[in-house]
Structure 1
Amino acid sequence: MLHPPLSKTRSNTARFTRAADMALLLGLSISILLFSTYARAENRTTQWHHFEHLVDFIRMEDRQDPLVEFTQTREGLDAALSQENRRFISQNEGLLEDIRTELKGNDLNWKLRQATTRLMVVPEAHPDYAALFERYCYAVIDYVLQETRLPNPYQAITTLDGPPADPIRSEDEGITAYLVHNVADVYSEEYEFFAAIDNDRSIRITLDNRTYRGEIGSYSSFLVVDEDRQYRFEHNPYTLWRNSAEDPLNVLIAPVEETLHIALRDATEGAIKSRLTDQPPSTRADMEAVVEEWLAIEEAAVGGLVSALLPEILDRILDGDSTADVMRTLAERHAFDKYRYLDQGIEVVNTIGIQSTIAVYLEQTHHFKAMLASPPSDGTATADEETPDAVTNEPAA
């Protein structure tokens, strides 16, 4: 999937207060396919009325504040950011002088008290936009589920206007889609400074490093390798969808693609576990190669399905012919390796149809992989063909 260049904005800010092992996690984060398209609005229904105004809302200012905490994602040191923070402190004479003045000493000692990474969001500030975007998400997901006959994976689709309920509900209850304006990873370190002549006096400062995500939406699952080399997946019980993007249509596509990724993910994970069990990898790099290969295959299926579903969705919302923009966007995605099978995926969907593609992927994922190597030409999907190795970059274990 294409996405805008990752916007990395790191700001070091200080907050002052006076003061007296065998598990391997591989993050599988699926981002949103981004399309730059325009389509006809000849078949708009009452349900889709007014959604064309979403484009005007999306084109409003892109805000990076105020940030509210969504969830803490991990504890522990980030070596690169920690080095950057210490460089910031050592080069900030004004900050050091303030600390010396507070502690009444020229020579300072310090220690790192904690390091955490939090996922933070910027809520949507315009109530009318938030309400319209939420209604659009419900409408477009209803359409996708009707066309694909997939079950509804969501327990809720909700606009986030503050920190979510704690704890976020279990995945067993369904996925919650949170609608937000912007998303950032915030790495924080808390340092404590002491005067060398008096360790009873101290000052604590916290440095925050913000990295704004370029993804419009994502759904993450994590491969965990237990001590006995058993493989299992854990999942976030939520997905985040931004309502801001440089190209407004990227926002409109997000609910469609996220829904398809969620629907196909169990089959992808099953194929990954099967491959790792049958041919155990000898290195982490080998394991990551297996994961990335199957994610590329999932992207081919999802991309093909999105290309088939997209025209009718855009017809209901926007004016204009989308063909040229769709083709241009598809050509741009070829620059990203994860889309190496996208053209084949589109061909498979065009040949056997939306529902047949989903059935093959869910029930015979390895056969879908084989179809990418030799897309069917007769409009049928055969289930007994041997899966070739032609579409694999997986290393020999």
Structure 2
Amino acid sequence: MEPRKPTIGQQYGLTRRQLMTMGIVGLTAWTVEPLSYAFAGTGDDLEQITRIAGLPSRKGPLLVFRDYTTDPDVEIEQHIRRQLFGRKDLLSRIKKKVGFKKQLRLNIEEIQVRLQFIPQSQDGLGTAYQRYCLDITDSIFGMNGMDNIYSAITSPEKSYPAISQDGISAFLVHRLAKDFRATCRFTAESGNSIKTIISGAIYSNHLGAVDLEIEMVAPGQFELARKPFTIWQNDTDNLYTLMAIPAEETLHYLLGRATDREISTHFQNRPPESLAAARNIAEEWMALEESVVGGLVDRVLRRYCENRRLKWSDLFANNPQAMVPELRQYRYRKRGLQLVADLGFQHAMDLYLDSPSRFRERLL
């Protein structure tokens, strides 16, 4: 049997969605002009996306994404701790009530969060960014020979957008806001404690997120889960960051399977004594995941530009790669960038998927 001839998509690195968009599914011949047109379309979209970076932040309208629900939101918890321990007047009153003049121990027993969002603009800029997100995620699945994990990538315009029960839902918004109600307990060394409810609201600084949730179902037994939806904000003045968001969060979902497997094995072999201990263990592995994702995203974007004949230096001349935030979760990011560059995209991806522990040995 003669080997099957490569399809047009395989020959030119085009995805099925791109072929359908250009109306050429089923053709057996190709010419230079349509191919040039395809790349021109990508360039036009990126020109539009360039205009998004740096647009002023909008403050409305705020639409409800999801009503209040119990959510161990790390960003909210960090915000509460920063705010509380910056309020000396409040801490003084609490210490007086519990009869303790020195340090207090804070335990955040429960957080309820309502998510709200400002829609991204529904003009040509928003449409171009949505097409780009579809294109770059297709590229990642094609590079790895993996099935598309997304049920939809949409730009919601009304409150309570539907979350698919089959696959991951990705939502493109301008900004994400979080209203919260937290049950906090302050305990003195004597054992005296008081409980209070703290409420507030913040705009999220996480432009994209794939959260890992850990629940203790019995002493020493924990369940891990990642949310079936992800929200991508376009409120940034850095083009590299804007283009990296869909690639980064997609890679978190793909690599997260290996990370979660490693964490579960750790829990089985050495069961944590508390939920806090379990979260600390998971945080270390999530920092490792951040390191490899950062390196892979850079490779993905460079290959994406090469395949579409876009000159990297021209595209990011005024938008260099964003600095890695000085946050604990990114403590291995710089090493990850170098290791992925040394190993190459596919080797790094395969190594991590096979064994995050062996990747960690190479990294540290």
* 1:56-67 alignment, distance < 5 Å: 56-67=51-62
Which letter maps to 1:235? R
Choose the corresponding residue for 1:133, options 105, 129, 136: 129
Which letter maps to 1:54? I
Bigger relative CO (Cα 8 Å, ≥ 6 apart): 1
Choose the corresponding residue for 1:245, options 236, 239, 245: 236
Residue 250 of structure 1, CA deviation = 1.6
* 1:222-301 alignment, distance < 5 Å: 222-301=213-292
Report SS of the residue matched to 1:345: helix
* Counterpart residue number, 1:307: 298
Distance 1:66 1:209, change over 3 A: farther
User: What per-residue deviation string (whole Å, max 9, x for no partner) do you get for residues 127-171 of structure 1?
Assistant: 3222111111111112222223332110111111112345x222x
Residue 281 of structure 1, CA deviation = 2.3
Matched, 1:336 2:327: yes
Distance 1:169 1:289, change over 3 A: same
Report SS of the residue matched to 1:157: strand
Report SS of the residue matched to 1:218: coil
Q: Which structure's CA Rg is the greater one?
A: 1
Aligned counterparts of 2:171 and 2:253: Cα–Cα separation in 1 = 15
Report SS of the residue matched to 2:120: coil
Deviating runs (4+, > 6 A) in structure 1? 78-81, 322-328
Residue 265 of structure 1, CA deviation = 0.7
Distance 1:318 1:161, change over 3 A: farther
Matched, 1:177 2:173: no
Structure 2: tracts of 5 or more residues without a match: 1-35, 85-110, 183-197
Distance 1:325 1:296, change over 3 A: farther
User: What per-residue deviation string (whole Å, max 9, x for no partner) do you get for residues 171-196 of structure 1?
Assistant: xx11011111110002379xxxxxxx
Distance 1:301 1:169, change over 3 A: same
Which letter maps to 2:342? T
* Counterpart residue number, 1:48: 42
Query: Which one has a larger percent helix, Structure 1 or Structure 2?
Result: 2
Which letter maps to 1:181? H
Report SS of the residue matched to 2:209: strand
* Counterpart residue number, 1:39: none
Report SS of the residue matched to 1:45: helix
* 1:316-335 alignment, distance < 5 Å: 316=308, 320=313, 329=322, 332-333=323-324, 335=326
TM-score by length of 2: 0.67
Distance 1:334 1:57, change over 3 A: closer
User: What per-residue deviation string (whole Å, max 9, x for no partner) do you get for residues 336-391 of structure 1?
Assistant: 33223223323332233212222221122211111213xxxxxxxxxxxxxxxxxx
Distance 1:319 1:364, change over 3 A: closer
Aligned counterparts of 1:148 and 1:348: Cα–Cα separation in 2 = 19
* Counterpart residue number, 1:69: 64
Aligned counterparts of 2:300 and 2:336: Cα–Cα separation in 1 = 14
User: What per-residue deviation string (whole Å, max 9, x for no partner) do you get for residues 30-80 of structure 1?
Assistant: xxxxxxxxxxxx99813413121211134333112111111124259x996
Structure 1: tracts of 5 or more residues without a match: 1-41, 85-114, 190-206, 374-397
Give RMSD over aligned pairs: 3.4
* 1:29-108 alignment, distance < 5 Å: 45-51=39-45, 52-74=47-69
Report SS of the residue matched to 1:59: coil
Does the 8 Å contact 1:272/1:290 carry over to 2? Answer: yes
Residue 208 of structure 1, CA deviation = 8.0
- Identity rate of aligned residues, in percent? 26
* Counterpart residue number, 1:377: none
Distance 1:141 1:328, change over 3 A: closer
Which letter maps to 1:49? G
Aligned counterparts of 2:67 and 2:147: Cα–Cα separation in 1 = 30
Which letter maps to 1:149? G
Residue 209 of structure 1, CA deviation = 3.4
Report SS of the residue matched to 1:181: strand
Distance 1:229 1:319, change over 3 A: closer
Which letter maps to 2:40? T
Which letter maps to 1:292? E
Report SS of the residue matched to 2:218: coil
Report SS of the residue matched to 2:178: strand
Aligned counterparts of 1:347 and 1:47: Cα–Cα separation in 2 = 33
Does the 8 Å contact 1:148/1:354 carry over to 2? Answer: no
* Counterpart residue number, 2:154: 158
Does the 8 Å contact 1:183/1:213 carry over to 2? Answer: yes
Residue 278 of structure 1, CA deviation = 1.2
Aligned counterparts of 1:284 and 1:325: Cα–Cα separation in 2 = 45
* 1:209-220 alignment, distance < 5 Å: 209-220=200-211
Matched, 1:146 2:142: yes
Aligned counterparts of 2:58 and 2:254: Cα–Cα separation in 1 = 31
Q: Bigger CA drift: 57-66 or 300-309?
A: 57-66
Matched, 1:367 2:351: no
Aligned counterparts of 1:326 and 1:298: Cα–Cα separation in 2 = 25
